[in-house]
A and B are shown apart, each in its own frame.
Chain A
Amino acid sequence: MKRVSLALCSLVAALTVPAYAADPPRAPAPRAAAAASAPGAGSAQPAPSARPGPEQPLVAEVLILHATNEQKGIDPRIGKLPELAKPPFSNYDSYQVVDRARLPLKKDAPQNQKLPNGRTLQVRLLDELGPDSVRLSASINRPSGKEFLPLLEVKAHVGQAFIVAGQSHKKGILVLVIRVMK
């Protein structure tokens, strides 16, 4: 009878012990790891849940594209950017990466980026609305100092982008994809 009691106790223990107790500790969630390791380098839409460390500075990633109808296709370096398949961007069949820059976003420290047409894109951090949310401004100035786009204020979360497009350049237009990143 002692053996029966022992066996029944072991059966009850097997039914009540949680299954995760037998599982070895596993690696962190792959979703967060993937999002942290690929901050939009090739993808235009990183996961919105990407939560990098608090020490990482905010940057504005500027992707300068040249849109033409030269039947060259879409530069694979652009990555996933489904907006290019929608009008008015779908009016151009070729998109090439002209330049890419990461501009640190700091208050009272506007960052300038030279554009292929000689104009200058200026980006400035206006406010940090939260750990992943900012308000920033962008402007485009002509070489003469005259303003082409005097002011644009955008509120965006980390990973979100906005597009400024339409400037003529070499039988096409320039498309500026500006994304807030950490």
Chain B
Amino acid sequence: MSTSRERRMRLMRYHDGELSDADARLVEAALEQDPAQLEELDAYGDLGSFVRAWDESNQSKVVSFDIADSVLSALEPPRARVHSLLPRIATWVSLGAAIAAGSVLVVRSWSAPPVTPGAIRSGEHAALSGTGSASPSASAPELAAVLGAAALVEEEPQPPPPPATIESVDFGSNTGEVFVLSTDSSETPVVWMPDDGEPDEDNEDRSESL
């Protein structure tokens, strides 16, 4: 029982003259009985003419020829061109990163504590150099810690010197007392010597002459 595929292959081989005489007579008998096969045979003839004509015209251009690809490209509609989203995402990521970098620079320049080079003392310089803060490769937390420490050192009030002290006092023939007056900001030694009531020999008013 011949299938349609076998029948088509035999018809194509008949068209190409590749069948034996016996088989060719069977095909011719079938063609007489079935006009549809005759039309198919005519179509093979047209297809063969088309292929030969195309082969002759493109022989110099095409090295390899795939009939399936040609048929598919002729039958299938052109595919829609698909654009990759990666370049677009990369553009937005780069733009966002640039904006973030600019924002960070602006915010840090506004919020940084005022560190004056002249205000940093030698000890603070040593502390700063010990942490390697001058290295541009230092990480942001390290730099922030160093800057914060420098600001704290700058803001720390220096310990006040010891107050003035009275080491010795000689009241002579007079009387007096020594005490310290403490205020919020200082401790001031005081020598309190009231006059003994005896006027000086020439205790005249000289304030006008001063």
Contacts and interface: CB of A to CB of B under 8 A. Distances in A.
Given A16-B139, A16-B140, A7 B163 contact: no
Contacts of A154: 164-167, 189
B136 A17 contact: yes
Contacts of B64: none
A160 B183 CA distance: 13
A162 B116 contact: no
Interface string A142-172: 1110011111111111001111111111100
A26 B206 CA distance: 52
A88 interface: yes
Given A117-B203, A156-B164, A7 B188 contact: no
Interface stretch (B14-22, B31-39, B169-177): B169-177
A27 B117 CA distance: 9
B6 interface: no
Nearest to B205: A170
Residue in B114, B189, B205 whose Cβ sees the most chain A Cβ within 10 Å: B189
Contacts of B100: 11, 14
A164 B191 contact: yes
Main secondary structure of the interface of A (DSSP, over half): mixed
B200 A3 contact: no
Give the size range of B's interface with the partner.
35 or more
B152 interface: no
A157 B161 contact: yes
A16 B138 contact: yes
B166 A152 contact: yes
Contacts of A152: 166, 168-170, 191
B207 to A, nearest CB: 4
Interface in B140-164: 140, 143, 147, 154, 158, 160-164
A160 B161 contact: yes
Residue in B112, B137, B174, B188 whose Cβ sees the most chain A Cβ within 10 Å: B188
B164 A161 contact: yes
Interface in B190-205: 190-195, 197, 200-205
Interface in A91-136: 98-99, 114, 116-119, 132-133, 135
B101 to A, nearest CB: 4
Given A16-B138, A22-B109, A153-B169, A162 B98 contact: no
Contact of A22 (B94, B105, B161, B195): B105
24 contacts: A11-B97, A16-B138, A16-B140, A22-B109, A26-B114, A29-B116, A83-B181, A83-B183, A98-B207, A114-B210, A116-B210, A118-B206, A133-B161, A151-B170, A155-B165, A157-B161, A160-B164, A161-B164, A162-B166, A162-B191, A163-B181, A164-B193, A166-B193, A168-B195
Given A11-B101, A152-B169, A163-B191, 19 more contacts: A1-B90, A3-B90, A7-B94, A7-B101, A14-B102, A22-B112, A26-B114, A45-B186, A48-B158, A48-B161, A118-B206, A142-B201, A149-B172, A153-B167, A157-B161, A162-B166, A162-B190, A166-B193, A173-B194
